[in-house]
Amino acid sequence: FFHTEIPEGLRRLPGPKPLPIIGNVLEVGSRPYLSLTAMSKRYGDVFQIQIGMRPVIVLSGNETIRQALIKQGEEFAGRPDLYSFRLINDGKSLAFSTDQAGVWRARRKLAYSALRSFSTLEGTTPEYSCMLEEHICKEGEYLIKQLNTVMKADGSFDPFHHIVISVANVICGMCFGRRYDHNDQELVSLVTLSDEFGQVVGSGNPADFIPALQFLPSTTMKRFMDINARFSQFVQKIVSEHYATYDKDNIRDITDSLIDHCEDRKLDENSNVQMSDEKIVGIVNDLFGAGFDTISTALSWSVMYLVAYPEIQERLYEELKDKVGLDRTPLLSDRPNLPFLEAFILELFRHSSFLPFTIPHCTTKDTSLNGYFIPKDTCVFINQWQVNHEPETWKDPSSFNPDRFLSADGTEVNRLEGEKVMVFGMGKRRCIGEVIARNEVYLFLAIIVQKLHFHTMPGEPLDMTPEYGLTMKHKRCHLRATMRMRNEQ
């Protein structure tokens, strides 16, 4: 790569000098979102590092990322062939595999339409506008009951542990038409031990770039493989049950609708993209995985911010009390009337940037960006954390201040400011669950803030340092919650 001929008129990429064998691994360190942001100040929006023997391009700055992922979308839409990606979903993941463009596009379209139809489907009672709302409201109520029970029994609770089960149940409802009890050991052990997944697939894991490391014993890697195997088994069992009870005239959930697609396709002789049934039904694996880890991480961070900023927690409660009241559960239709909650969520996404990099991209052909030459098959990291903390865009970026997204009188959200926050990626690979995610984070938060008051444990300082990964988590901790009392109403 370093000796590649640069076409005339284009420049060679800037970047730190790599060491033999390990490249820039030491400079990248254990918090790549900070080290690569610091490097962007020195080398600019497009620069090159080397991880092991492999060159990686790092993109920063809203405009540069927009140019690459939107204006030159096709050229930057690939996924790199990384060791850890091959272990996910038997190498057949929609989000992580190196599927050819045609196959990936067809799968993405299918996943998107299945998600859309099962989230917007009518609820079982007229009280709810859609299935998504019904699932979230019911799981929100269970969550509150569960936290109350745990508080009475233990005096404290682990926020991530309980939130992740509730969120997993919403996506289980849509994908598999079922929910699990908070004490169900199979689901609990699967979803609460998912930390290693994010740690291994986060941008810059040296084992992905230095082949020798793949052969060394590593507990994290072993657990990563174990999680993938257990995850596939869990989904496979449910998929087999669906095949056994599938009825064309009664499509119950996303799994059924994907099976149905396979059946229809067998009758369609004109179908031009060749895909195995496994690749189609396997989409549900991606939807389930992406659907619980991201949203539960967002909600768990939300609770940490509520506790860290009690005055903000009170303002959110007051807004709910004023605009929704305390006699009914908040609904999706209340969202436009709760600007402070909306601003809180935007600030949570920006400040935590808990998905600091998108999933790594890869160039699909020789290209150039900002005058620099980038060859085909180059791995590309997109630094979302840098976009969300750029001092030119954000005043005092390290302070947590939801008001930055509100109009001066506090009654409206400034949409243009909100659009500058980057957490769902951009362009062709942009997250397909964004609408569901934004609605789900909003509604769960509205429900819990209306009913519960969260506090720290006396004498236990709050540790907000993120642990690096694809989704960054806060350290597991214990908090307290009390029911909002009648006299507060």
Interface residues toward ligand HEM, by CB under 6 A: 94-95, 108, 111, 115, 171, 286-287, 290-291, 294-295, 298, 355, 358-359, 423-425, 429-433, 436-437, 441
For residue 291, give the nearest of 136, 151, 429 by alpha carbon. 136
Please report, as a single letter, which amino acid is at residue 358: T
CB of 285 to ligand HEM, least distance (A): 10
Nearer residue to ligand HEM within complex by CB, 204 or 425: 425
CA dist 201 → 94, 358, 424, 452 (Å): 14, 11, 17, 35
Contact 98, 238 (CB under 8 A): no
> Which of 170, 167, 161 lies closest to 188, judged by CA?
161
The strand pairing partners of 50, in sequence order, are 55
CB-nearest residue to ligand HEM:
433
CA distance 13 to 25: 18
Residue 128 or 288 having the CB closest to ligand HEM = 288
Q: Least CB distance from residue 333 to ligand HEM, whole Å?
A: 20
Separation CA 410–CA 404 (nearest Å) = 10
Q: Which is nearer to ligand HEM, 287 or 374 (CB)?
A: 287
Comparing CB distances to ligand HEM, the nearer of 102 and 310 is 102
Nearer to ligand HEM (CB atom), residue 139 or residue 286: 286
**Shortest distance (Å) from residue 360 CB to ligand HEM:** 8
Q: How far is the CB of 314 from ligand HEM (least distance, A)?
A: 25
Nearer to ligand HEM, 111 or 320 (CB): 111
Half-sphere exposure of 191 (CA within 13 A, CB side): 32
Q: How far is the CB of 177 from ligand HEM (least distance, A)?
A: 15
296 and 243 Cβ atoms separated by less than 8 Å: no
Minimum distance of ligand HEM from residue 97's CB (angstroms)? 9
Burial of 97 (0-12, 13-18, 19+ CB in 10 A): buried
Asked if residue 130 belongs to a known ligand binding site, the reply is no
Which residue positions form the known binding site? 431
Which residue positions form the known binding site for heme? 431
